[in-house]
Amino acid sequence: METFPQVIKVRDQQEGLNCARDILYKKSDNQTLLLLSGGSTPKDLYETLAKEKILKAKALGMVDERIDRSNYKMIKSTGLLDYFENLRINFYPMISFNAYDKKIRDLIKSSKNKIAIMGIGEDGHTAGLPAGIPHFAKASRGEQNSKFKIQNYVTDIGNFPGEFKKRITLTFRALSEMDLFIVMVFGGGKEEALRAMFKKGPIEEIPARFYARKDIAKKTILITDQKI
């Protein structure tokens, strides 16, 4: 069943990033597992968090990675990992889907509070979950007729549409365990993806519809400068 998450409308990306920062400061503490997405949108946020040196966490991990580890490189370049390393707080990179599946399962189980920083692509994908690939979306939900097993928290992608085809990502099964999603969507290029997100239809077509699921919407904060 589709519904609406909490939506915070902002004037522009900078105001949205400030809003995401303030929510993190309020909601994250030393019992929090914080999962970081890649892509261009959160980079400025991570730089601000590193500079201000206020954010607390128990451990950090990744939502998705490209096989060339470009998301890790981006996060590392912001100084955020150095900040947490100085606090002796561990960051767990996505090196392989098998190893990360076990690690993220353990982290989720042992963490009282789990927050994921997310985005939505222009085609409606989120994390490394591709749009328009039916068998993968079924697998990510753990359906029995899928070639993937129901317990998968992490999987790899070999045919992601776009420049970086090989990726590792959390599945919907793992994401469902989160306590809070901070979803940042900025720029006119995302307007159609947002509209599609709130239209009824298969999640196989638009993975961002995951956030409109009744059980997920109630723990999602969508920050956007676009009209919905």
pLDDT per residue as tens digits for the range 119-146: 999 999 999 999 987 655 554 444 444 4
In a domain, residue 217? The reply is yes
In a domain, residue 27? The reply is yes
In a domain, residue 53? The reply is yes
3-state secondary structure of 200: coil
The pLDDT-based confidence of 22 (bands split at 50, 70, 90) is very high
What is the CATH number for 131?
3.40.50.1360
Query: Is 223 within 8 Å of 20 (Cβ atoms)?
Result: yes
- Supply the range of the domain harboring residue 58: 6-224
Share of the chain above pLDDT 70, in %: 90
Query: Is 208 within 8 Å of 122 (Cβ atoms)?
Result: no
- The pLDDT tens digits for 3-12 are 689 999 999 9
In a domain, residue 1? The reply is no
Of residues 159 and 13, which shows the higher confidence score?
13
The Cα 142–Cα 152 span in angstroms is 7
The Cα 196–Cα 69 span in angstroms is 30
In a domain, residue 67? The reply is yes
Residue type, 181: F
Query: Is 49 within 8 Å of 23 (Cβ atoms)?
Result: no
Q: Closest Cα to residue 141, out of 130, 132, 150?
A: 150
The confidence score (pLDDT) of residue 134 equals 61
- The domain tally of the chain equals 1
Q: Which two tokens stand for residue 33?
A: 């597992």
- The pLDDT tens digits for 152-202 are 899 888 888 877 889 999 999 999 999 999 999 999 999 999 999 999 999
pTM for the structure as a whole: 0.92
DSSP 117-184: EEE--TTS-BTTB-TT-HHHHHHHHT-TTSSS-TT-SEEEES--SSS---EEEE-HHHHTT-SEEEEE
In a domain, residue 179? The reply is yes
